[in-house]
């Protein structure tokens, strides 16, 4: 036997079709889960920190922080508070690369110098394994 | 005088024939490519030197050759025939892989899946040879198990190819491993013409949006667990590869076992790579390796690799038909799991079309999913063909 007959005799068509389908479906499901993973984790994180629901009207959301409007080095306490608010989505501890990215996204002026000053002033402390967290803010 | 004559008869020089000379030449060529051209030196240098020492003819029965019981090389080769080295290499690969690029762009994973289609096309091609009189006359006929082992070359993953071949067709480990690693080393020569053939200049110029969101540590921690559960439950035969792979990655991202992760990503993978390369090289003894079957494996291997590249590219073009935001179809070529060679090549070809086009991070996402995809394919083929 040869050609298509040889493939059929060795069950090749079924193997190729099933194998291809499995790998595509497998990676598609994995891709789908990955694309939703941050939302699922975010949902659970919100659940953990959610305030009890009351009938009273909630206070208005804090005004948006205008990072670029002040020089961050003039008042480090205020800067640390602003940055903490800005980086709330990073969690309790975060890498410096994440912090720089968040600050750059918010158009914060000279983020590297500011972060260095925040570290030197003890507002940003190293926790473990290259992670940092806010302190006394 | 007799003693001297016997000694002369037992020297390698006396037993050397043209087949060994050819193979030693191949070994030297591999060493040259590794050192002078820096083509996959981490693999080609050990393999090249292994080819040289494996093809020094010796007096049979001394327990010297890789196929002789109780020889040192035979014991080292045990790690190949059992699939031990590939598993260890995958542990190290996992500890070295950064999935954040892939986690930030999950849709690109589909290109990694599409590039695996080359494996199945080649499986069918090898099976189709059947008993064609021409191929039968030259001894180039493959069983279904051998066809599966050859097809996995299309995954462009050396350890995966060796693992599957060790399970399905151990007699072909040498030629398949050499073919797989050769094609991985020859990515800069094989892939770009296929990329240019299947894409237009306008397509190669497509810029990928910098849509990579910040991936949180929790996501990185959850991914290896989700990944191992999903992939290994789907194809349990891929556990020996994907189990260590995701475990290595978990060690890396957890941050609590830095020592173990660093060791897995350095000493452990390096040791396994040395033994894997040298023994695979030494397994290419001329009397076993130089056959028409090996030539067939190289031919089919090149078809597999080219088809894998082409399927990724075509999948990229097909995705563009349905997606609002076009993707650069070149990324499909990085769906083969040759990390990071194919991603680098995609980036370079993209930059040739437009020097401001940066595709590397997106290509790495496809590359990472290609590694997972080819390991799943190996598991699938093993489970289909083992019985």
| B58-80 confidence digits (pLDDT tens) | 877 777 888 888 889 999 999 99
Residue A103 contacts B, CB cutoff 8 Å: no
Residues of chain B found within 8 Å of residue A12, distances taken between Cβ atoms: 123-124, 127-128, 144, 147
B20-24, B131-135, B284-288: which has the minimum mean pLDDT?
B131-135
Residues B318-357 have pLDDT tens digits of 999 988 888 999 999 999 888 788 898 999 999 999 888 8
Is the confidence at residue B259, as pLDDT, over 90?
Answer: yes
Distance (Å, rounded) from C-alpha B76 to C-alpha B91?
19
Distance (Å, rounded) from C-alpha A94 to C-alpha A87?
9
Nearest to B131 among A2, A20, A131 (CB): A2
Is the confidence at residue B246, as pLDDT, over 70?
Answer: yes
Residues of chain B found within 8 Å of residue A35, distances taken between Cβ atoms: 106-107
Residues B126-142 have pLDDT tens digits of 898 877 888 877 778 88
Is the confidence at residue B268, as pLDDT, over 90?
Answer: yes
Report the candidate in B276, B273, B274, B249 with the shortest Cα–Cα distance to residue B260.
Answer: B249
**Using CB atoms and an 8 Å cut-off, which of residues 49-108 of chain B contact chain A?**
102-103, 106-107
Give how far the C-alpha of residue B91 lies from the chain's centroid of Cα atoms, to the nearest Å.
15
User: Which residues are A126's β-sheet partners?
Assistant: A132
Residue A21 contacts B, CB cutoff 8 Å: no
Please report, for residues A3, B150, B246, B336, the alpha-carbon distance to residue B220 in angstroms, rounded to integers and kept in the order given.
47, 34, 11, 23
Report the candidate in B245, B266, B199, B205 with the shortest Cα–Cα distance to residue B337.
Answer: B245
Report the candidate in A95, A82, A89, A67 with the shortest Cα–Cα distance to residue A137.
Answer: A82
pLDDT at residue A65 in the model = 46
Cβ of B102 and A34 within 8 Å? yes
The alpha helices in B98-238, defined as continuous H runs, are 100-104, 109-114, 117-129, 133-137, 144-151, 158-168, 173-185, 187-198, 201-204, 217-234
What sign results for the dihedral spanned by CA atoms A11, A22, B371, B274? negative
Please report, for residues A51, B49, B179, the alpha-carbon distance to residue B35 in angstroms, rounded to integers and kept in the order given.
63, 12, 19
Cβ of B124 and A12 within 8 Å? yes
Distance (Å, rounded) from C-alpha B334 to C-alpha B358?
14
**Per-residue confidence at B176, pLDDT binned at 50, 70, 90?**
very high
Give how far the C-alpha of residue A94 lies from the chain's centroid of Cα atoms, to the nearest Å.
9
Residues B148-163 have pLDDT tens digits of 999 999 888 889 999 9
**Percentage above 90 pLDDT, chain B:** 54
Residues of chain B found within 8 Å of residue A24, distances taken between Cβ atoms: 110, 113-114
B267 close to B61: Cβ distance less than 8 angstroms: no
Full DSSP string of B294-320:
HHHHHHHHHHHHHHHHHHHHHHHHHHH
Residues B84-118 have pLDDT tens digits of 999 999 999 999 998 888 888 888 899 999 999 99
**Per-residue confidence at B187, pLDDT binned at 50, 70, 90?**
confident
Instruction: Please give chain A's pLDDT, 137 residues, in tens.
Output: 778 888 998 899 999 999 999 999 999 999 999 888 888 888 877 766 555 544 444 444 444 444 544 566 667 777 787 777 777 777 777 887 778 777 777 767 777 778 877 877 788 887 766 778 887 77
User: Which residues are A94's β-sheet partners?
Assistant: A132
Cβ of B230 and A130 within 8 Å? no
**What angle is formed at CA B379 by the lines to CA B146 and CA B367, rounded to 5 degrees?**
100
CA distance, residue A111 to nearest chain B CA (Å): 17
Radius of gyration from C-alpha coordinates of chain A? 26
DSSP B264: I
pLDDT at residue A63 in the model = 45
pLDDT at residue A48 in the model = 60
User: Which residues are A133's β-sheet partners?
Assistant: A125
pLDDT at residue A71 in the model = 63
Cβ of A91 and B216 within 8 Å? yes
pLDDT at residue B262 in the model = 93
Residues B371-387 have pLDDT tens digits of 999 999 999 999 999 87
B349 close to B295: Cβ distance less than 8 angstroms: no
Residues of chain A found within 8 Å of residue B144, distances taken between Cβ atoms: 10-12
Is the confidence at residue B208, as pLDDT, over 90?
Answer: no
Cβ of A90 and B214 within 8 Å? yes
B161 close to B276: Cβ distance less than 8 angstroms: no
**Using CB atoms and an 8 Å cut-off, which of residues 223-242 of chain B contact chain A?**
223, 226-227, 230-231, 234-235
- Per 3-state DSSP, chain A is made up of helix, strand and coil in percentages (nearest 5) of 60, 5, 35
Q: How many A-B residue pairs are in contact by the CB < 8 A criterion? A: 137
pLDDT at residue B222 in the model = 93
């Amino acid at each position: 036997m040869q050609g298509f007959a040889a493939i059929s005799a060795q069950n090749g068509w079924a193997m190729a079709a099933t194998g291809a389908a499995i790998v595509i479906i497998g990676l598609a499901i994995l891709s789908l889960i990955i694309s939703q993973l941050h939302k699922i984790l975010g949902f659970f994180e919100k659940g953990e920190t959610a305030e009890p629901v009351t009938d009273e009207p909630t206070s208005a959301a804090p005004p948006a922080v205008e990072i670029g409007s002040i020089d961050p080095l003039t008042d480090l306490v205020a800067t640390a508070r602003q940055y903490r608010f800005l980086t709330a989505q990073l969690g309790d501890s975060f890498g410096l690369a994440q912090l720089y990215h968040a600050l750059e996204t918010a158009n914060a002026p000279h983020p590297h110098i500011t972060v260095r000053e925040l570290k030197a002033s003890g507002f940003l402390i190293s926790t473990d394994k290259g992670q940092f967290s806010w302190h006394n803010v | 005088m007799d003693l001297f004559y016997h000694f002369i008869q037992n020297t390698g020089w006396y037993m050397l024939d043209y087949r060994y000379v050819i193979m030693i030449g191949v070994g030297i060529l591999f060493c040259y490519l590794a050192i002078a051209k820096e083509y996959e030196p981490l693999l080609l240098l050990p393999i090249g030197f292994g080819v040289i020492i494996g093809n020094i003819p010796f007096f049979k029965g001394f327990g010297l050759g890789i196929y002789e019981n109780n020889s040192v090389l035979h014991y080292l080769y045990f790690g190949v025939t059992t699939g031990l080295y590939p598993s260890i290499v995958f542990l190290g690969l996992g500890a070295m892989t950064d999935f954040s690029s892939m986690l930030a762009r999950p849709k690109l994973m589909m290109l990694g899946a599409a590039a695996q289609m080359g494996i199945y096309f080649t499986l069918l091609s090898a099976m189709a040879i059947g008993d064609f009189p021409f191929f039968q006359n030259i001894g180039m006929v493959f069983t279904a198990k051998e066809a599966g082992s050859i097809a996995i070359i299309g995954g462009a993953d050396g350890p995966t190819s060796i693992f599957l071949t060790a399970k399905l067709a151990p007699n072909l480990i040498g030629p398949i491993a050499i073919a797989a690693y050769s094609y991985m080393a020859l990515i800069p020569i094989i892939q770009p013409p296929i990329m240019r053939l299947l894409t237009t200049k306008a397509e190669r110029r497509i810029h990928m949006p910098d849509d990579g969101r910040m991936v949180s540590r929790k996501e990185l921690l959850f991914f290896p667990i989700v990944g191992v559960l999903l992939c290994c439950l789907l194809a349990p035969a891929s556990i020996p590869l994907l189990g260590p792979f995701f475990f290595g990655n978990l060690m890396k991202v957890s941050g609590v076992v830095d020592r173990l992760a660093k060791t897995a990503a350095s000493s452990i993978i390096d040791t396994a790579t040395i033994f894997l390369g040298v023994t695979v090289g030494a397994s290419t003894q001329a009397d076993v390796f130089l056959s028409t079957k090996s030539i067939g494996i190289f031919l089919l291997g090149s078809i597999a690799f080219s088809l894998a590249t082409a399927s990724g590219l075509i999948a990229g073009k097909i995705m563009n038909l349905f997606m609002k935001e076009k993707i650069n179809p070149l990324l499909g070529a990085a769906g083969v799991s040759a990390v990071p060679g194919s991603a680098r090549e995609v980036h370079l070809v993209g930059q040739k079309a437009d020097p401001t086009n940066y595709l590397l991070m997106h290509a790495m996402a496809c590359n990472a999913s290609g590694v997972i995809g080819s390991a799943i394919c190996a598991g699938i083929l093993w489970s289909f063909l083992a019985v």
